[in-house]
Chain A
Amino acid sequence: MMRDTVKQKLLEVRNLRTHFHTFAGTVKAVNGVSFDIAAGEVMGLVGESGGGKSVVGFSILGLIDSPGKIEGGEILLDGEDLVRAGEARLREIRGRDISMVFQDPMTSLNPLHSVGRQMDEVLRLHSDLDAKARHMACVEMLESVGISRAAERLKAYPHQFSGGMRQRVVIAIALLARPRLIIADEPTTALDVTIQSQILKLMRRQIAEKGASMILVTHDLAVVSEMADHITVLYCGNVVERGRTRELIEAPAHPYTRGLIDSIPDLSNRHERLKQIPGTVPDIRNLPRGCNFRDRCPRAEAICAEIEPDLVPQRGSLSAACHFPLSPGDTA
């Protein structure tokens, strides 16, 4: 607890709202999300499809294209508001201060350029090293992510690598300029389990060595619980719960988090039937009044349909947006 207050905040997101104006109506993909990340911290951003977790990542990097627009809020990187920063400033920040690892290593590399050229680009734009020093840095980085014969492999093209190898290259590119924050959007979802565990170990080691922070965007609670210090749970564009990883996994306060955890078949226990969250995510274009989760929630009462709950501190490190938060030991 003490350490927390001492730790410097690297990124603060305040009341971020990113909306998409489509013909079918306004999609409030991110609707008032706040969180902050300290230096050297890993935060997991979890939720189901449509929760808005990827859009948060893209908003931080200023990668929201029309019809999407950041309607309000602040994204403070060391006190500098990225929402109000111009495109030129964002280009300086991308790759140098904040870098991104995308889900699909098959499409996030340019197939027409050699891996070496794509790595070199980062350093050419964001450092004042000469060509030789850049080459050395690329070779060293590629070796540190576990690719052998790195000098030779720099000349190879993405199609000459397997999926796992490509994701290593993407991570190497993300780490090259020594960014302070890495946004990893489902970095291992497209990979097999044995490769996934290699990549996760690699990311954890690299982040610890370089002292970077990370936002890990994923739908996989098991992955997040092995990687993250803190977890933020999104539902329909809102933060429904956040807290320290172990506390949140072991005794969440929000019924949605409880439902998510219970619906995972886990290797260490086995029930005849999985607990399921009834129904599906509501249409985000016309969300119901009150709490977004109430139609699927076993604890919902009349007030849930009237007043949207605010994110308020609960026991321990947890905060949850719920009128009837769970106590430890409560089932959903």
Chain B
Amino acid sequence: MTDAPAPMLDVRNLEMHFSLGGSVLDRLRFGKKGPRIDKPVVRAVNGVNFTIERGEIMALVGESGCGKSTVAKTIARIYKPTGGELRIDGEDVAEHDFAQMLPVRAKMQMIFQDPYASLNPRQKVRDIVAEPLLQQTKTTAERREVPKKIEALLAKVGLNAEHAGRYPHQFSGGQRQRIGIARALSVTPGLIVADEPVSALDVSIQAQILNLMKDLRDEFGLAYLFISHDLSVVHHIADKIGVMYLGFMVENAPRDVLFLRPRHPYTRALLSAAPSIKENRDKEEIELTGEVPSALSLPSGCCFRTRCPFAWDRCAAERPALRDVGDGQTVACHLIDEPERDVA
């Protein structure tokens, strides 16, 4: 035990594999060595490491299927991880059961992508926001405080008391996302896991929600795990960024370092592909061909080699590990050893 407080979130070697199952007959295959039973496993997350300090915003970016949402849902313990450690405020919750998770949920809440699907259409806003709070309060005296707290929360996220008696369908997308944020804040958590919180919103509303999330961070010292596919949103909000591909973290760096000096070819390709309203933004042109391979059968060696313009035989033979390259930047790529190969 050291005196320094534990980080808000500490993820070590997190692994999440889904067994596809199906009946024995469905999985029966006939090979050269006679019949066998297949066990298809989707390797959604393969050993991810990162920490988030109090008040810090960490973003995970990547394309669909890279495992970023699975990481979020695993950390929120909607899924039970198949391997690794998951410490929230110092406590390893990877193996916790439902009852053990209840007190942990007062420290960690989630905001979801789709504000139309994540609110119960039959509950009034007041009840939606109160639900996590009522789970966490035990005494009647505390419960009596709840309505007052709800009102304060709604005001915090830019809604008023009059809205408390309405149903979700009476609100626009941006307002619904505000309700989702109020619900997450109700138990005064230290960590909020936000899975694509603005990708369903129009740009003018997106700016409102991003500003609100930042203000709340400054006011309550919240830490966010912010999942997004949109690099410009991440550039705006995050302190540090992890880039994921096929369930692996390929690069992890503070924001300015990542955008100024991206090292991994995939990060560079993502930055080169991002459209911008600025003319002739000077950017490296790395065009990727092909698409993401299936997580059912990962490529040997480096997960990115099938689309990487620099890949050579070592990439197929050996899986690169995340290595520190200074300035808090870690990269999983063999190019770090052999920079002379870095010519397009």
Contact = CB atoms under 8 A, between A and B. Distances in A.
Interface of A: 48-49, 162-165, 192-198, 200-201, 219-223, 225-226, 246, 249, 259-268, 270, 272-277, 280-281
Given A200-B275, A265-B237, 10 more contacts: A164-B291, A194-B273, A195-B63, A226-B275, A261-B277, A262-B207, A265-B210, A266-B276, A268-B276, A280-B205
B202 A48 contact: yes
B63 A192 contact: yes
Contacts of A194: 63, 269-270, 273, 288
A259 B204 contact: yes
Given A222-B277, A261-B277, A193 B229 contact: yes
Contact of B204 (A226, A268, A276): A276
Q: Which 5 A-B pairs have the closest CB atoms?
A: A265-B236, A263-B207, A192-B63, A197-B273, A222-B275
B214 interface: yes
B64 A192 contact: yes
B118 interface: no
B232 A266 contact: yes
Contacts of B309: none
A274 B211 contact: yes
B277 A225 contact: yes
Contacts of A275: 207
A266 B278 contact: yes
B299 interface: no
Nearest to B234: A265
A226 B229 contact: no
B276 A226 contact: yes
Contacts of A270: 235-236
Given A260-B204, A263-B206, A223 B279 contact: no
Contacts of B229: 192-193
A197 B175 CA distance: 32
B324 interface: no
Contacts of A272: 214
B287 A198 contact: yes
A273 B276 contact: no
B141 interface: no
B233 interface: yes
Given A164-B291, A220-B275, A274-B211, A267 B63 contact: no
B208 A49 contact: no
A48 B270 contact: no
13 contacts: A49-B202, A162-B291, A165-B291, A193-B274, A194-B270, A197-B275, A222-B232, A225-B276, A265-B235, A266-B276, A267-B271, A268-B281, A277-B207
B275 A223 contact: yes
Contacts of B203: 48, 219, 221, 260, 263-264
Nearest to B289: A198
Contacts of B274: 193, 222, 267
Contacts of A266: 232, 276-278
Interface string B229-250: 1011101110000000000000
Contacts of A262: 207
Contacts of A225: 275-277, 279
A274 B288 CA distance: 31
Contact of B235 (A249, A267, A273): A267
A261 B207 CA distance: 11
B177 to A, nearest CB: 12
Contact of A267 (B64, B211, B276, B288): B276
B236 A193 contact: no
Nearest to A273: B211
Contacts of A223: 275
B120 interface: no
A253 B235 CA distance: 28
Nearest to A226: B275
B210 A274 contact: yes
Given A196-B273, A249-B277, A267-B281, A219 B235 contact: no
B259 interface: yes
Contacts of A165: 291
Nearest to B285: A197
Contacts of A261: 277
Contacts of A277: 204, 207
Contacts of B291: 162, 164-165, 195
B174 interface: yes
A175 B274 CA distance: 26
Contacts of B202: 48-49, 219
Interface in B126-157: none
A226 B275 CA distance: 7
Given A222-B276, A267-B274, A280-B174, A193 B206 contact: no
Nearest to A261: B277
A46 to B, nearest CB: 10
A42 B95 CA distance: 56
Contacts of A163: 64
Contacts of A196: 273, 275
A48 B276 contact: no
Which of B205, B271, B274, B277 has most chain A Cβ within 10 Å?
A: B277
Interface string B281-300: 10000011101000000000
A225 to B, nearest CB: 5
B19 interface: no
Which of A197, A274, A281 has most chain B Cβ within 10 Å?
A: A274
A136 B35 CA distance: 42
B277 to A, nearest CB: 5
A200 B210 CA distance: 28
